[in-house]
Amino acid sequence: MAQEIQKSQGSALDTLQVRAVELRKILQRASYEYYALDAPTMEDSVYDALYHELQDLEKQYPQLITPDSPTQRVGEKPVSQFVSVQHHVPLYSLENAFTTDDVNSWQERCQKVLNTDKDLASQPLCKMEYVCELKIDGSAIALTYEQGVLVRGATRGDGVAGEDITSNIKTIRSIPLKLNLVNPPDRLEIRGEAFLPIAVFDEINHERSQQGESLFANPRNAAAGTLRQLDSRIVAKRRLDFFAYTIHFPESKLSPSNPPLSDLPLFLPLSSSGRGAGGDGYIISSQWQALEFLQQIGFRVNPNKKLCKSIQELQEYYDYWNHARHDLPYMTDGMVIKLNSFPQQERLGFTQKTPRWAIAWKYPAEEVLTVIKTVTVQVGRTGTLTPVAELRPVLLAGTTVSRATLHNSDRLAELDLHIGDTVIVRKAGEIIPEVVRILPELRPSGATRFVMPTHCPECGQPVLKPEDEAATRCINLECPAIVRGALEHWVSREALDINGIGEKLVKQLVTENHVTSVADLYTLTSEQLQTLDRLGKKSADKIMAAIAQSTTKPWARVLYGLGIRHVGSVNAQTITDNFPNVELLARADKEVIASIHGIGEEIAQSIYDWFRKDINQHLVEHLQKAGLQFESTSKGSKAITLNPNIAGKTFVVTGTLPTLKRDEAKDLIKSAGGKVTDSVSKKTNYLVVGAESGSKLEKAQSLSVTCISEEELLQLLGQSTQSIA
């Protein structure tokens, strides 16, 4: 009897499981039609009824819940913090264009490279097509799907690593939890933009105003802040939207330093609702096909896109949207142009920061009139004094602006700025407000000219204005403003990522003299922190734990955190790949540092100078004693091997060499610490001469530059080397 009851219960559960699967499929199909196709066939009331049926079923029988169920979009509990995660493929920035000439220059650079590729030049592919997509003003996110199911959503972060915000991503209904694919790849990455529609933004600000809360400045800030909410229930209420624009396959065998947009060709059978049903393949070899594919597997793709055949078509499309963008239901700050062909994209590759095959054509900056009330001077972390105009508040590009940069003393002199001047203000690149020009005819009588101070407004020490620089600097490394800036940079997310230490706490730490350099963070005690405003024992202990955790951050982040001028997070990674510990970098000649691909003379000089100051050497020593990571643990580090005959010397390679390709010769020179340039000058040490060398040989001879053959180059390379690894 008991067995019969158990069998009956099992049979009933099986029936319920079949119903749950059926409901999920129906709801997923309805979401696909609504968001991806923008062609809903199901009434909202029907969707709601089916959703509640599934929800009740899963509540009664939790064993029926699956990760891709529509009911699992909103979590029940807030998370305590977000975890940092590495992107499988970096999220690159885009080069900006502001004029038609900028776009033409980009197109010419692309065409020049493609014309030199014999495989592409002989094919119709060398004729370029362009995909134009509106640049959405939101937050870039990366979605990871495994076996077709969403497993991770992350913020862009610094492009290499971001924060895991999966719980928040799941609340965005235009992001499918399960892809519309029968045989999905093991892993698939989708990139796109999360944004807040203007109407929703207005509703949120109206509600916040009614409740006496501060208003969001613009939809972009609101979207970014929403994505970093710890409570996904709040995120769900704010109704973020999403457009997909890129697809990646991280398992590609191509070099990770030059990541592909996709494997080529790609075979992905789609479900019966998509093109290629019944096992027919779908080949993705272009951006246009990728957008079609993204829509078919369940994503919303911006319908305002166009495949253009010429620069003229690009110009016409840009002009149209420059005027029509104000009628869109979301904010857009430009148009993204990508080469359509994936083989062309692969050939052009990437710089350290941007793809060479894409560019963002920004709309002209909005300009408004306002009045300068006064000018204040800020001191940055490198000691740079920046004059800032305090303005009569004015609405500009969706944001209330009350301050604008005046850049530096040279710019200030050009403007001949007086307090009380009426000025034209715009947003540079739609981000930083700046004073463009003044209207002297509207200047009030008795207005006084503003002059840059001769002493630092923070520490009172004399400032320095080098003749060859536009910036005025405080050179007192113990200046409170420099110390504060160094601390804020050190604890930032891209550097040591120390949670709990923000601008206000940094100011208190410096004011109370608890911290005079970043090294002092590692001698702080919980008791010291508890003496500061609004810090109890629990908060102080959390900060102490975060400081301790920062000692595990890799050498590249530590180098970036030191705040050396011109050394960004990408350059820091490149440098630490070549110098696996701080001792090697500290004693390296600037010529050797400059020989690294992507690191020029300016960055090399800055690093060289930094390590030769006693105060910085002592800082490194103290940080080493505190346990910070000053050596690379990565197996992929590729230390430079110095050859005393090559290192620090400048080479030019010309003509056809007997056995080596020119690029091979250049790589050999660079790997030995030498520098390679394209033109002969007085600074050239050697000209490597091959057949049909032309005018470079004549110029080298006129300048008495040493000319050598391939064989002589190999002899130089083959002599004793001094490894710094």
What residue numbers bound the domain in which 535 lies?
480-550
In a domain, 252, yes or no: yes
CA distance linking residue 574 with residue 638, whole number of Å: 10
- Helix, strand, coil percentages (3-state) for the chain, rounded to 5, are 40, 20, 40
- Shared-domain flag, residues 329 and 212: yes
**What SS3 class is residue 623?**
helix
In a domain, 53, yes or no: yes
Weakly modelled stretches of the chain, pLDDT under 70: 1-11, 34-39, 44, 73-80, 117-126, 250-283, 398, 428-431, 634-642, 719-725
- Catalytic hit among 77, 118, 127, 135: 135
pLDDT value, residue 76: 52
Residue pair 414/443 in contact by the 8 Å Cβ criterion: no
- Shared-domain flag, residues 334 and 287: yes
CA distance linking residue 524 with residue 526, whole number of Å: 7
Domain boundary among 362, 390, 413: 362
Count how many domains the chain has: 6
Q: Does the active-site annotation cover 135?
A: yes
The most distant pair of C-alpha atoms in the chain lies apart, rounded to whole Å, by 107
Alpha helices in 587-613 (DSSP H): 590-594, 601-610
Domain boundary among 509, 530, 550: 550
- Shared-domain flag, residues 495 and 459: no
CA distance linking residue 274 with residue 33, whole number of Å: 12
What contacts 650, CB < 8 A, 6 or more positions away?
674, 675, 676, 677, 683, 684, 685, 686
- Shared-domain flag, residues 408 and 515: no
CA distance linking residue 339 with residue 358, whole number of Å: 6
Apex 355 CA angle, 352 and 360, nearest 5: 120
DSSP state of 447: P
Domain boundary among 314, 346, 362: 362
- Residue 706 exposed, middle or buried by CB count within 10 Å (0-12, 13-18, 19+): exposed
How many CA atoms lie within 13 Å of 356's alpha carbon, on the beta-carbon side? 20
CA distance linking residue 606 with residue 84, whole number of Å: 30
- Shared-domain flag, residues 464 and 485: no
CA-to-CA dists, residue 537 to 498, 509, 511, 527, 540, angstroms:
17, 16, 21, 8, 5
Residue pair 487/478 in contact by the 8 Å Cβ criterion: no
- Shared-domain flag, residues 279 and 337: yes
- Shared-domain flag, residues 695 and 649: yes
Locate 177 and state its tokens. 């939890």
pLDDT value, residue 125: 46
- Shared-domain flag, residues 194 and 318: yes
- Shared-domain flag, residues 167 and 277: yes
- Shared-domain flag, residues 502 and 540: yes
Please provide residue 215's backbone torsions phi and psi, each rounded to the nearest 5 degrees: -90, 150
- Shared-domain flag, residues 7 and 67: yes
pLDDT value, residue 38: 58
In a domain, 634, yes or no: no
In a domain, 713, yes or no: yes
Cβ count within 10 A of residue 723: 9
**What SS3 class is residue 440?**
helix
Helices (H) and strands (E) in the chain, counts: 25, 24
- Shared-domain flag, residues 524 and 543: yes
In a domain, 194, yes or no: yes
What contacts 545, CB < 8 A, 6 or more positions away?
none
pTM: 0.56
Among residues 211, 238, 222, 197, the alpha carbon closest in space to that of 331 is found at: 197
Residue pair 120/354 in contact by the 8 Å Cβ criterion: no
What H or E segment, with its residue span, contains residue 314? helix 311-324
